[in-house]
Structure 1
Amino acid sequence: MGLEDVFKEGPLPTQTLTIPATATAPCCHGRASPMEPTALPPKPLLVIIPSQEGDYPVLFFLHGYLLLNSYYSQLFRHIASHGYITIAPQMYTAAGPDATPEIRDAVAITEWLPTGLSGRLPAHVRPDLQKVAVAGHSRGGKVAFGAALGRATPPPSLPYAAVVGVDPVDGMAAGRQTPPMILGYGDHDFNNSIPALVIGSGLGPVRRNPLFPPCAPAGVNHVDFFRECRAPAYHFVATEYGHQDFLDDETGGVRGRATYCLCKNGTAREPMRRFAAGVIVAFLNAWLRNDSADLQDVLANPSRAPVKMEPPECYFLEKVPTL
């Protein structure tokens, strides 16, 4: 594959599934039939899969603060069309400042994958659970790193193969982090033994107006997360786009409409979403599929991305697997 491919939707058709987190499920006649409790996940899941037969790595994605997992459907379809099963739980509908329960829930869902996921997918779509990456946006990025680093609870027995933070945020400001604190403010403080990707927004630290704080404040955002990562780690920043520009073009409902007015945004979401999806695909191709061509191309030719980027940063690029 080449760079142009990863920033566009891939060749595979996709299918969207939902998996409930209840003890019953409707049968073919509309009646509720009992299900084994272990057959269903701790949280309801939105799953987007390639519909073509195959074995596929898994991207486990955690939504941002007070957002819905469905707001990322276009991002997920883009990634799935390149050959990845994307799994996105709805972690809550309301939550306080403490993300500890979300980290525990993320680990619990990961523990469910080996026994529960395959039975909920079409038989011809097989998840490769040796290749599971955990990712998240905003507070979900904090939760993803928390789960990968074993903060608040031990990491899952099914190890993650990579971690991705999409404009991750660790609180309101340095010194005003929300529990559990992920950032320690030392270079390479994270004890991550897996590859890390951090994607940032240039407008995230900028206030939309004097009434609202920035959505990705300086001191607790992507810059700080990347600084604390250990090699191999990568940092990509779109300079002219904002914290919510990763979402679908249309996000409905009250909270969906709020995503347009609380943060400083770019002119459109589609370029930023394609940028993020393409970088994620390139990163996953390198570390889950041992195909580094796209990642090396993105690093060497940032001007070919659909957005203006800061010069990409990385730790120990020579450790990227080569063909």
Structure 2
Amino acid sequence: MGQQGEEPWEDVFKPGRFPVRILKIPQRTTHGSTTAAAPKPLLLALPAQPGEYPVLLFFHGYLLLNSFYTQLLQHIASHGYIAIAPQMYCVTGADATPEIADAAAICNWLLQGLSSYLPDDVRPDFQNVAMAGHSRGGKVAFGLALDRTSQTTELKFSALVGVDPVDGMARGRQTQPRILTYKPHSFDSVIPTLIVGSGLGAVKRNPLFPPCAPEGVSHREFFSECSAPAYHFVASDYGHMDFLDDETGGVKGQSSYCLCKNGVAREPMRRFCGGIIVAFLNVCLQNDSGAFNDLLVHPSHAPVKLEPPESFVSEVEHQAVESLLPQTV
């Protein structure tokens, strides 16, 4: 719920009402004598108040660290979600197939092992789970949702978010397993899906570097292949790395500033991304569509300039949004 006097769309772009606690679960570290080790190191942002909360699993981008998304995860957690970001690898090759299998293993571990690491008065609601990923992490999330791995998971997803997802270097140069088929609405998934895109992701930073989210393998193609219901928001003046923390250290962190075409600052894009994800999760996991429907109809309410939002929905959902438009005489 928003603060008194605020519109729902204002609320989602501001920190929520929950204080947030950050936890780290190292790989192969046990908690007590009977707790199984996590398959990968995990970074958690969770509400620091007693309660049961929906879960968001978030996969990082290519060669990035999960800690680079701390501010984004904190924003989401402050609105009443347990946000979990695995560190999928330190170094990896082009093929994402092992990564998708690891993602399935993490999902299975969460069902059995996560609660043992949480405060006793904080409980994950595994009936309401969402999955998201940035860049290559978006490819991993879609790969898991579309069963592009032999590893099965019992965890069921109620929402899917691609944050500037990337399927390879260019059309015809996709990495394995190929997610995009270039057939409209061909994804065999009924999970409600949100695609968040960057307007500058397909722009080269300089003649020496390729674009970080090339045309033909990025957010527009992912949205085009989604089944209903699916939604597409694009921030015109921001780049592929503008979702990250304001400060990202080390060699990997420094490279995030110089490899991609960026916007003027990360904070507005990160706040938009966190807010639109919260609004979407509120629809899918909490049956609260107020903020999300408002942003579909009034994209100028977002803290960044947006292209006109796109949606691929059923007639009933379309009519619900149409009813929010100003009536002409």
Same fold (TM over 0.5): yes
C-alpha separation in 2, matches of 1:24 and 1:77: 25
Equivalent in the alignment of 1:284: 281
C-alpha separation in 2, matches of 1:227 and 1:155: 26
- How far residue 154 of structure 1 moved from its aligned partner, in angstroms, is 4.9
- Paired residue for 2:140, among 143, 146, 149? 143
CA shift digits 1:121-171 (9 cap, x unpaired): 001111000111111000000000000110123542111111110000000
Q: Structure 2 matches for 1:217-232, cutoff 5 A?
A: 217-232=214-229
Note if 1:76 corresponds to 2:82.
Answer: no
One-letter amino acid of the counterpart of residue 259, structure 2: L
Q: Answer yes or no: is the 8 Å Cα contact 1:149–1:155 preserved in 2.
A: no
Equivalent in the alignment of 1:308: 305
Equivalent in the alignment of 1:120: 117
TM-score, normalised via structure 2 length: 0.92
| SS of residue paired to 2:258 | coil
Equivalent in the alignment of 1:192: 189
One-letter amino acid of the counterpart of residue 225, structure 2: E
- How far residue 35 of structure 1 moved from its aligned partner, in angstroms, is 3.8
C-alpha separation in 1, matches of 2:118 and 2:39: 17
Taking only aligned residues, the RMSD between alpha carbons, in angstroms, comes to 1.5
| SS of residue paired to 1:245 | coil
Q: Structure 2 matches for 1:51-130, cutoff 5 A?
A: 51-130=48-127
Equivalent in the alignment of 1:274: 271
**CA separation of 1:320 and 1:277: change in aligned 2, threshold 3 A:** farther
Q: Answer yes or no: is the 8 Å Cα contact 1:63–1:88 preserved in 2.
A: yes
- Paired residue for 1:246, among 210, 218, 243? 243
- Deviation beyond 2 Å, 4+ runs, structure 1: 152-155, 317-322
Q: Where does the alignment leave 5 or more consecutive residues of structure 1 unmatched?
A: 26-33
Q: Answer yes or no: is the 8 Å Cα contact 1:292–1:320 preserved in 2.
A: no
**CA separation of 1:83 and 1:178: change in aligned 2, threshold 3 A:** same
C-alpha separation in 1, matches of 2:24 and 2:124: 16
| SS of residue paired to 1:135 | strand
Q: Structure 2 matches for 1:37-56, cutoff 5 A?
A: 39-56=36-53
Q: Answer yes or no: is the 8 Å Cα contact 1:12–1:82 preserved in 2.
A: yes
How many residues are treated as equivalent by the alignment? 313
Equivalent in the alignment of 2:12: 6
Note if 1:212 corresponds to 2:185.
Answer: no
Q: Where does the alignment leave 5 or more consecutive residues of structure 2 unmatched?
A: 3-7, 321-329
C-alpha separation in 2, matches of 1:61 and 1:84: 12
